[in-house]
A and B are shown apart, each in its own frame.
Chain A
Amino acid sequence: MTEAEALEWIAELFEESSDAIQADTPRDDVPAWDSLGVLSLIAALDQRCGIVLSGEEIEKMTRIDDILEVLRVNKKLE
């Protein structure tokens, strides 16, 4: 997917409008990215991209770009 599509997908996952989710948006600005949101993120990465990260890697994420980086490293971004 493209970066724009990825941002759209992440916005949907966290039930936010697409303009509220940008690469530099910090985790603290995304209310749904809490302990339950982390589970949704883990499930979504696994289901859509076949990516399974460790809990530690997930915890280290502090902004949206960290999710994009995971997609980049796993060659899921065009």
Chain B
Amino acid sequence: MPFTKTRSAIIKAITSCVPPKQFDNMKDATEFNIEEVKKVVRMAGVEQRYMANDSICSSDLCLAAAKDVMSSLGWKNDTIDLLIFVTQSQDYFLPSNACLIHRDLNLPASCAAFDVGLGCSGYPYGVWLASMILQSPGFKRALLLHGETPTRFSSNTDRAVALLFGDAGSATAIEANESDNEGDEWVFSVHTDGTGYSDLIIRGGGFRDRFPNDRKSCFVHMNGANIFNFTIKSVPKLVDDTLEGAGLTRDEIDYFILHQSNRFIMSHLAKKIGIPSEKLPLTITKFGSAGGPSVPLTVVNGGLKRPTDKPLKLLMLGYGVGLSWGSALVDLSPEAVLSHLVLNTIN
């Protein structure tokens, strides 16, 4: 199916959250010689990023973000009907991160809470799931949490990934649209190609190889060339399908929020798709590639110009590990609260 639609929901707030440790690639990446670092920085665009230490998990980043959106909206804990946690760097194999957050936020037993195991494509998928569930009777308020700590699963000596990743969490507060305006729809396009499963993979530590002899297999392996090829083939069509579903042209989209994979790849995609640079916010320079959470991180920190009298049309695009890719074409109203915080590890 090229695209699908849901009745639009309302994005009430998005908060992004990063760990306190700031890492400057040019100054702090001592495992590589400076010329090598310069080359990677020039191409991938990652000048600095934020890194979790051994004790910070995606749940910590998302919990802080969730508390922030709830407090800014005045949402009481017993009014949350749905909690979706999208991650591939969960605290435990079981239980799910969603259950940990459910405890920490003291959410009611009536709240549905579950994890979704998606990475780079996770945000569009998460918004799709949340908006579908919010169409069900009884569901009014959803928290969509999306966080990853890729620096904790990448080797600091693997040139393909070491200088690229940053860690981040996010919380998006979404409310069911109870107005009678039947015309509003969100458009999604969601895809999978499992034949590329080994292009971005952590082979060790799961149940296929529970206690690997080679500890390196617990780090991520990325075939950058295959991933790049996949994005060139799939993302332009993803944009076309989504726009066709919405009956809109590129000009009618205010911002294209791309998964911040690598500046070179994003620039190539933008040229190929025909996205002008002013509609392509980039946060990879400051935050690195934070996996799927780079999408909400970019909505919050991408310098979006927001008119006060009409919503922004955002086309959000996620693509990578799986291989999995998806889009979400949504509205961001002028009232939506966007904020960013650095995790306070003292409390």
B225 touches A55 (CB 8 A): yes
> CB < 8 Å: which of B199, B233, B264, B272 contacts A39?
B264
Q: Which residues of chain A are near B228, meaning CB under 8 Å?
A: 39, 42-43, 55
> CB < 8 Å: which of A35, A46, A47 contacts B225?
A35
Given A46-B232, A52-B232, A52-B233; A38-B225 close (CB under 8 Å): yes
**Does any Cβ of A come within 8 Å of B268's Cβ?**
yes
**Does any Cβ of A come within 8 Å of B224's Cβ?**
yes
Q: Which residues of chain A are near B271, meaning CB under 8 Å?
A: 47
Inter-chain CA distance A47–B232, complex, in Å, is 10
CB distance from A67 to the nearest CB of B (A): 14
A54 touches B43 (CB 8 A): no
Given A36-B39, A36-B40, A39-B43; A54-B232 close (CB under 8 Å): no
Inter-chain CA distance A10–B333, complex, in Å, is 48
CB distance from B96 to the nearest CB of A (A): 33
**Does any Cβ of B come within 8 Å of A58's Cβ?**
yes
B272 touches A38 (CB 8 A): no
**Does any Cβ of A come within 8 Å of B159's Cβ?**
yes
As a 0/1 sequence over residues 158 to 183 of chain B, the CB contacts with chain A under 8 angstroms (1 = contact) are 01100000000000000000000000
- Identify which of residues 214-244 in chain B touch chain A, using a CB-to-CB cut-off of 8 Å: 223-229, 232-233
As a 0/1 sequence over residues 38 to 68 of chain A, the CB contacts with chain B under 8 angstroms (1 = contact) are 1110110011000011111011000000000
**Does any Cβ of A come within 8 Å of B246's Cβ?**
no
A59 touches B225 (CB 8 A): yes
Q: Which residues of chain B are near A39, meaning CB under 8 Å?
A: 43, 224-225, 228, 262, 264-265
A45's closest neighbor in chain B, by CB? B232
Inter-chain CA distance A53–B265, complex, in Å, is 16
Inter-chain CA distance A43–B160, complex, in Å, is 17
> CB < 8 Å: which of A36, A40, A47, A55 contacts B229?
A55
CB distance from B263 to the nearest CB of A (A): 11
Give 4 nearest A-B pairs by CB, closest first. A55-B226, A55-B225, A43-B268, A38-B225
Contacts A43-B268, A55-B225 known; list 8 others, CB within 8 Å: A38-B225, A39-B43, A39-B225, A40-B43, A42-B225, A43-B264, A47-B272, A55-B223
Q: Which of A's residues lie within 8 Å of B, judged by CB?
A: 35-36, 38-40, 42-43, 46-47, 52-56, 58-59
10 A-B residue pairings within 8 Å (CB atoms): A35-B224, A39-B264, A39-B265, A42-B228, A46-B232, A46-B268, A52-B233, A55-B223, A55-B225, A58-B225
